[in-house]
């Protein structure tokens, strides 16, 4: 009997979850997402914290493709955020079957709790579609009592990095043509854009916490990937896309 290779195991796991959750995800789309962090992984991929790791497909693919040497995942696994204890068990089991268990550890707790006790700083952190869960609010956070909480959260990330370490953030934007079309029912979608924050909010809080913003780019949908050079700026953000990718860096000297 032919031995099942890690690539096949991984592809099957992605297909099964996508079918069960009604998602459109495969290895090509996963690589496309990670490619937005190409320079981040080259510079910061030695030991990476995946904040809100969830199903962990991005962490596993980053390890499998050697974008990341060692990964740590942290997630409270609240079911109402889309991932529960079953996802944790599946991730741990999948890492073992893919022979990646020695390079991945997963902790079931809030990232704030983990970082306060962590003593080994990271070279990088990946924060994909997490901030809007922690700071869910229909108001601009700058003008609420939660602004200080957000800045303190960014300070925790900052403190958990080595000098020169980086943070890669992907987040949904609240305003644009795509968002309007969804609200009006012209496009199908279940995203509640009213609770999302502009990239300027995340970048502003990060700056207050001591980060330098290295780059902001528009995440162009996979279906339009051949047009990515045309839509990677702000015009693309307010037309074909609904999310930003932000790269932050902790200064070498402060």
Q: Are 73 and 106 in contact (CB under 8 A)?
A: yes
**Residue 24 has what pLDDT?**
81
**Which is more confidently placed, 125 or 7?**
125
Domain definitions of the chain by residue range: 6-249
pLDDT at 151 exceeding the cut of 90: yes
CA dist., res. 190 & res. 152, Å (int): 30
19-28, 76-85, 96-105, 180-189: which is most confident: 96-105
Is 70 exceeded by the pLDDT of residue 55?
yes
Classify 28 as helix, strand or coil. helix
In this structure, the number of other CB atoms found within 10 A of the CB of residue 88 comes to 21
Which fold would CATH assign to domain 6-249?
A: Rossmann fold (3.40.50)
For residues 244-250, give the mean pLDDT: 98
pLDDT at 78 over 70: yes
pLDDT at 13 over 90: no
Question: Could you report the per-residue pLDDT of 182-235, keeping only the tens digit for each?
Answer: 888 888 888 899 999 999 999 999 999 999 999 999 999 999 999 999 999 999
| Mean pLDDT calculated for residue range 57-83 | 89
- For residues 60 and 186, what is the distance between their CA atoms, to the nearest angstrom? 35
């Amino acid at each position: 009997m032919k031995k099942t290779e890690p690539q096949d195991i991984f592809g099957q796991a992605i297909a099964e979850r996508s079918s069960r959750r009604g998602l459109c995800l495969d290895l090509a789309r996963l690589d496309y997402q990670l490619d937005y962090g190409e320079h981040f992984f080259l510079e910061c991929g030695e030991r990476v914290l995946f904040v809100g790791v969830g199903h962990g497909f991005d962490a596993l693919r980053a390890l499998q493709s050697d974008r990341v040497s060692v990964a740590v995942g942290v997630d409270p696994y609240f079911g109402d955020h889309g991932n529960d204890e079953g996802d944790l068990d599946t991730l741990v089991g999948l890492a073992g079957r893919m022979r990646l268990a020695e390079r991945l550890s997963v902790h079931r707790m809030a990232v704030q709790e983990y970082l306060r006790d962590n003593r080994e700083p990271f070279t990088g952190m990946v924060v994909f579609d997490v901030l809007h869960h922690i700071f869910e609010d229909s108001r601009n956070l700058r003008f609420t009592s939660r602004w200080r909480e957000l800045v303190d959260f960014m300070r925790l990330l900052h403190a958990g990095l080595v000098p020169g370490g980086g943070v890669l953030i992907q987040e949904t934007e609240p305003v644009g043509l795509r968002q309007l079309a969804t609200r009006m029912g012209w496009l199908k979608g279940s995203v509640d854009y009213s609770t999302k924050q502009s990239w300027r909010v995340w970048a502003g809080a990060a700056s207050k916490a001591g980060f330098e913003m290295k780059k902001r780019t528009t995440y162009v949908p996979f279906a339009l990937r051949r047009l990515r050079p045309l839509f990677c700026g702000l015009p693309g953000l307010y037309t074909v896309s609904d999310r930003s990718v932000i790269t932050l860096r902790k200064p070498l000297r402060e």
